[in-house]
């Protein structure tokens, strides 16, 4: 089952056509068409095993599609190392795990890829790190090491690190799932701010409140395809598909 929608005028930042991803004989994704427009916030929801994280990982080449085509910023995705490195320099990715370098300060965690990939000077990279830490409310932690930070603080640093590369699109793979409940809000707050500033975002999440408040479009994945998509009020309150209604019942019962 497939569906497509661009949300706003203009060429999409992400364009996926006929995406199939198999693991062995199992097609986790089976014929996905999806566009993400510039400045759009798309949340991917659905039951466990629906392929949400797999779809996200396909966008930046961490998973190689079995069939279909992907374009990011108008450029077709290829799997040679040079192209993948160029692609990933334009895509910010925030994972469940924070993946910070434990032996580096917060400043260096944010600055190192700027220097190595973008060729920024040490001073420019450090200034960009400072600016982004102020943006996520952690300027006072610039000289700290990751193990001295809470989980929520580490995830905010990870977001700042991704933003430092000036990405075309930000991908979030359940960024709050590893956090204690009291720390979830601080990360979602940063993400809401990014959404309000017009950052193009694709977010895999179980946080329905975030989807309701920040998403332009909610995409429900189930059974290998897109079961339903549309504005949050429709998909999360008045779904038109039977699969959507079943998912809504699961949310209410859970």
Instruction: Please state, in angstroms and rounded to a whole number, the distance separating the CA atoms of residues 102 and 248.
Output: 40
Q: Is residue 109 part of a domain?
A: yes
Q: Is residue 126 part of a domain?
A: yes
Domain that residue 139 falls in: 102-166
Q: Which whole number is the average pLDDT over 227-247? A: 91
Instruction: Indicate whether 202 belongs to any domain.
Output: no
Q: How many domains does the chain have?
A: 1
Model confidence, pTM: 0.91
pLDDT score at 254: 63
18-68 confidence digits (pLDDT tens): 999 999 999 999 999 999 999 999 999 998 889 999 999 999 999 999 999
| pLDDT surpassing 60 at residue 9 | no
pLDDT above 80 for 4: no
Per the domain annotation, does 112 fall within a domain? Answer: yes
Residue 179 located in a structural domain: no
Which two structure tokens, joined as six digits, stand for 158?
Answer: 């990870």
Q: Is residue 147 part of a domain?
A: yes
pLDDT higher than 60, residue 11 = yes
Instruction: Examine residue 142 and state whether it is found in any structural domain, yes or no.
Output: yes
pLDDT for 165-200, tens place per residue? 999 999 999 999 888 888 899 999 999 999 999 999
Q: Is residue 187 part of a domain?
A: no
pLDDT, greater one: 4 or 66:
66
CA–CA separation, 88 and 237 (whole Å): 35
Task: Provide, rounded to the nearest whole percent, the portion of the chain with pLDDT above 90.
Answer: 73
Categorize the per-residue pLDDT at 2 as very low, low, confident or very high, splitting at 50, 70 and 90. very low
Q: pLDDT tens digits for 223-234?
A: 999 999 999 999
Give me the DSSP letters along the chain: ------SSSS--SEEEEEEEEEETTEEEEEEEEEEE-TT-EEEEE-STTSSHHHHHHHHTTSS--SEEEEEETTEE---SHHHHHHHHTSEEEE-SS----TTS-HHHHHHHHIIIII---HHHHHHHHHHHHHHTT-GGGTT--GGGS-HHHHHHHHHHHHHTT--SEEEEESTTTTS-HHHHHHHHHHHHHHHHTT--EEEE-S-HHHHHHH-SEEEEEETTEEEEEE-HHHHHHS--SHHHHHHHHHHHH-
- Work out the average pLDDT over 235-239: 91
Return the pLDDT at 252: 78
């Amino acid at each position: 089952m497939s569906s497509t929608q661009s949300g706003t005028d203009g060429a999409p930042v992400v364009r996926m056509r006929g995406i199939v991803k198999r693991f062995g004989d199992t097609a986790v994704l089976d014929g996905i068409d999806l566009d993400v427009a510039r400045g759009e916030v798309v949340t991917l929801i659905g039951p466990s095993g629906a392929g949400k994280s797999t779809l996200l990982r396909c966008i930046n080449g961490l998973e190689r599609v079995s069939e279909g085509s992907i374009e990011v910023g108008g450029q077709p995705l290829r799997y040679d190392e040079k192209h993948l490195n160029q692609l990933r320099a334009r895509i910010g990715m925030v994972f469940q795990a924070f993946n910070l370098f434990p032996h580096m300060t917060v400043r260096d965690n944010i600055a190192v890829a700027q220097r190595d990939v973008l060729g920024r000077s040490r001073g420019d990279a450090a200034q960009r790190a400072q600016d982004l830490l102020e943006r996520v409310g952690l300027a006072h932690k610039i000289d700290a090491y990751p193990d001295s930070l809470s989980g929520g603080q580490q995830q905010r640093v990870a977001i700042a690190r991704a933003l430092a590369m000036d990405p075309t699109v930000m991908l979030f793979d359940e960024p709050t799932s590893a956090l204690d409940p009291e720390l979830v809000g601080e990360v979602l707050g940063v993400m809401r701010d990014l959404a309000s500033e017009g950052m193009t975002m694709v977010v895999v999440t179980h946080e329905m409140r975030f989807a309701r408040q920040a998403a332009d479009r909610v995409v429900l994945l189930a059974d290998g395809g897109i079961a339903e998509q549309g504005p949050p009020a429709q998909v999360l309150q008045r779904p038109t598909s039977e699969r959507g209604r079943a998912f809504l019942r699961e949310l209410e019962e859970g």
